[in-house]
Structure 1
Amino acid sequence: MVDCYLTTYYNHKTIFGNRKLIADAIIDNPQNYHIYEGLSTLTNISRYDLPDPETYRDFFRLNSLYEFQQLSATCTYFRGCPITRLDVAIAYDLPELVGKYKKMVESATPQGMPKS
């Protein structure tokens, strides 16, 4: 979500513009920049799954928006993007580990013993 705010900031930032004014406009009026609507169309999350804009407003009052690094800046040519690796881990690796754990528990439980 922070990356959506950052992308919007970088899309509206100009060379001679005041970065604080631009950041404040985005933080105070995220609906004018379609931040929540854009995010809900890109991924399969609901608008109601996300924290309220006030939560992000408070967060960005403590931590300046323009001081964050975009997620794309963390990508490297050889190692790829950390966010992609995290998505793969959540979508594939974690369910596989849970399945292996369940099989191990089932094989370790004696046949006469009830499962807890």
Structure 2
Amino acid sequence: MLSYFPPGYPFNDVCQWFIDRADLIFLVFDPTKLDVGGELELMFRQMKGRESQIRIILNKADSLVPQELMRVYGALFWSMAPLINVTEPPRVYVGSFWPYAYGPDTSHELFKREEISLLEDLNQVIENRIENKIAVIRQHGIRVRIHALLVDRYLQTLRDKTGFFGDSEQVFKEIVDDPDRFYIFKSILAKTNVSRFDLPDPEAYRDFFGVNHMSTFKLLSSHCPLLGSCLLDKIEAAITEELPSLLSSMAAGKGPDLACKATACEDTPTNRYRRH
């Protein structure tokens, strides 16, 4: 496998880059080349802990008669058994994944069903990835909202506690050093859709204001235009309405009819590159 790359090419580093970012990992085998070399063994070490993401494709299966295909299938697992230390073996797709008709006297129906299963697996991963990304965006929005509310509360408390001739720097230090005394975090908990589990550690804001002085921030009310919504209102709408609605619409679209439409539950797989 490494003979195709020039000397010094960081093959394993490149593989690790893709492994770290992959939702599924496909290993494609040729039935005439099942030998497991040192490169593949090293790659399996790199994939340790990601066994659930591994899928194996036994390609060019239509080049073998059914009896020989069964023998090759068993030999593949025999070769890979020492490399995969998991109770449940990875899913193996058997077929011929290229845009030409299957070879004669081979298991055509099996190959079609395997191709459909592969497409369904890919489709499910894409759907899950989108859902996870929406959930991450919503969680990030919650943190941004709480951060904005906290900074605003710190600023408002500083203005309320600093008199006309007061020492704002001294008051600022007192608020940052002991926010509980000024009910900073408790006042945020009293707001709608704020959980105590979402609140950061007060120590984090001592460090934050040690780098960013309060004078560099404005109250949230100053970000509200005369016409239109405030910035925080837009974030709250996204958190409480828009993103949950998007997730619900995706979940509603996972019925069996839609799944069949997406992956073609009929005999012919939805592979536009295949010639029939």
**Band the TM-score falls in, shorter-chain normalisation:** 0.7 to 0.9
Distance 2:239 2:194 in 1: 15
Of 235, 241, 249, 1:100 maps to 249
Identity of aligned residues (%): 33
Are 1:110 and 2:247 counterparts?
Answer: no
SS of aligned partner of 2:260: coil
Q: How does 1:65-80 map to 2 (within 5 A)?
A: 65-80=214-229
**Residue 203 of structure 2 aligns to which amino acid in structure 1?**
E
Name the counterpart of 1:84.
233
- Which structure 1 residue ranges, 4+ long, deviate > 6 Å from structure 2? none
Larger gyration radius, structure 1 or structure 2 = 2
Structure having the higher helix fraction is: 1
Q: What residue is the counterpart of 1:4 in the other structure?
A: 153
> Could you tell me the TM-score, scaled by structure 2's length?
0.37
Give the CA deviation at 1:31. Answer: 1.3
Secondary structure at the aligned position of 1:42 is classed as coil
Contact 1:26-1:33 within 8 A present in 2 as well? yes
**Contact residue 27 and residue 56 of structure 1 kept, 8 A:** yes
The SS at the match of 2:190 is: helix
Cα offset, 1:72, TM superposition: 0.8
Between the aligned partners of 1:15 and 1:57, the Cα distance in structure 2 is 25
Higher strand share: 2
Cα deviation 1:27-72 (Å, max 9, x = unaligned): 0111110112222122343434311111100000000023211111
Give the Cα separation in 2 of the matches to 1:45 and 1:92.
15
Q: Which amino acid aligns with 2:206?
A: R
CA contact (8 A) 1:9 1:22 kept: yes
Q: Which amino acid aligns with 2:201?
A: D
Give the counterpart letter for 1:99 in structure 2.
S
Aligned length: 113
2:187 counterpart of 1:41? no
73-82 or 6-15: bigger deviation:
6-15
8 Å CA contact retained: 1:36, 1:47: no
Unaligned 5+ runs, structure 2: 1-149, 267-276
Where structure 1 has 5 or more consecutive residues not aligned to the other structure, the ranges are none
Greater relative contact order (CA < 8 Å, ≥ 6 in sequence): 1
CA apart distance, 1:105: 4.5
Q: How does the TM-score come out when normalised to structure 1?
A: 0.82
2-structure distance, mates of 1:5, 1:110:
54
Write out per-residue CA displacement over residues 3-27 of structure 1, whole angstroms, 9 at most, x where no aligned residue: 1111111211223222211111100
Tell me the alpha carbon deviations over residues 63-99 of structure 1, each in whole angstroms, 9 at most, x when there is no partner: 0023211111100110221101211121111122122
